[in-house]
Amino acid sequence: MKLGIVGLPNVGKSTLFNSLTKAGAESANYPFCTIDPNVGIVTVPDERLKKLGELYHSKKVTPAVIEFVDIAGLVKGASKGEGLGNQFLANIRECDAIVHVVRCFEDTNIVHVDGSIDPLRDIETINLELLFSDLEILERRYAKTSKAARMDKSLQKEAAMQERLKAHMESGAAARTFELLDEDEEAYFKEYGLLTAKPVIYAANVAEDEVAEDAVNNAGVAAVRDYAKAEGSEVFVICAEIEQEIAELDDDEKTMFLEELGMKESGLDKLIKASYSLLGLISYLTSGEDETRAWTICKGTKAPQAAGKIHTDFERGFIKAEVVNYQDLLDCGSTAAAKEKGLVRVEGKEYVVQDGDVILFRFNV
């Protein structure tokens, strides 16, 4: 999974990136200090892996990972050359979702590029810049496709769809709200890599004394929640400064620190949950002496396609899947004991993999 982080300058974007990835991106109190895109890889915490690894005495435990891409802060007019943001938008076009960091805290020591705190205004500023950037790409594609369609009738359908999409976006609507009529249109649409087609997770960045209570009395956060609900997006409350402190601690210290602050989980944990929920993702597990590993797939994925995540040969030569629920396996203490109790099932090509399934694939190529 790959997530792109966007936001205005000085909203806590690079501070959040640093805390999530410990990558040491430059973070300072002036706009555009993030010139080059910062990329960091984060492992997905999963208690199940540790326990399975111990059960099988695995030599290696490999969690799922998330890749974060942090780009320069965007400002009004970025799509027309203002600031530095627009030239870096290409770096997040390959992302699965966008994490939009919104400033919901007051601090006279940290300047706001628009001079005041207004989360909804900031969201609209970023959304407009993403929309303008998408329209620029779409207009170039439409000019090319419509010209070629005069000689090649097979392109007429795509040109007509691009014309509809262009009108939709010119009205101010995000690409994700555009109605696709069939599978052909879905295929065309996917190729464009439009930023406003991607699902969004809003990270409401609040002051340290508000994060434990989930900022229940913060009017800005309430406005962001209402906005997100209306468009079907996810929201989580975070204090980027606290996250930076958490990033420096080991696991035991981190647990104690969170308890002292009255927090149940870190911002990274919140973000991972929001990401999996928004993108409809789950994890299945494989375990043995060599390795215990988590594999991320979409909900509804059938066994052969899940096997293909490991290797294309597994999908091509799929025979069957031996499946046991993670908790059942742990309770039994071994695969042999789980088999004796009839808890290990043999599933075929139509089986839909569930979160927490521990699977052994049988294949032949």
What is the distance between the alpha carbons of residues 221 and 93, in angstroms, rounded to a whole number? 27
Predicted confidence pLDDT, tens digits, the chain (365 residues): 888 888 888 787 778 877 777 644 444 443 343 445 677 788 888 889 999 999 999 999 998 888 888 766 665 554 455 444 445 577 778 888 999 999 998 776 665 666 677 899 999 988 998 898 899 889 999 999 999 999 898 899 999 999 999 999 999 999 999 999 999 999 999 999 899 999 999 999 988 888 878 778 899 999 999 999 998 898 988 888 888 888 888 878 888 888 888 888 888 888 888 888 888 999 999 999 999 999 999 999 999 999 999 999 999 999 999 999 999 999 999 999 999 999 999 999 999 999 999 999 999 98
Long-range CB contacts for residues 141-150, cutoff 8 Å, separation at least 24: 141/192, 142/166
DSSP symbols for 72-88? PPP-TTGGGT-SSSGGG
β partners of residue 61:
292
pLDDT for 110 equals: 61
Query: Tell me, what's the pLDDT at 29?
Result: 40
**Confidence (pLDDT) at 36:** 53
Q: What's the pLDDT at 14? A: 77
The residues pairing with 235 across neighbouring beta strands, listed in sequence order, are: 202
Q: What's the pLDDT at 221?
A: 92
pLDDT in the model for residue 84: 44
Q: Provide the Cα torsion 333, 337, 339, 343; round to 10°.
A: -50
Contact between 108 and 48 under an 8 Å Cβ cutoff? The reply is: no
pLDDT for 30: 38
Q: Two tokens at 85?
A: 């943001």
pLDDT attached to residue 73: 60
Residues 6+ away with beta carbon under 8 Å from 19: 240, 243, 244, 246, 247, 267, 268
- Exposure string of 50-63, with b = 16+ CB inside 10 Å and e = fewer, is ebbbebbebeebeb
* The predicted structure's pLDDT at residue 18: 78
Q: pTM of the entire structure?
A: 0.80
Inter-CA distances, 72 with 10, 32, 34, 113, 255, Å: 10, 6, 5, 14, 32
DSSP string, 235-271: EEEE-HHHHHHHHTS-HHHHHHHHHHHT-SS-HHHHH
* 194 touches 138 (CB < 8 A): yes
* Residues sharing a CB contact under 8 Å with residue 274, sequence separation 6 or more, in sequence order: 201, 234, 235, 236
CB atoms within 10 A of CB 147: 11
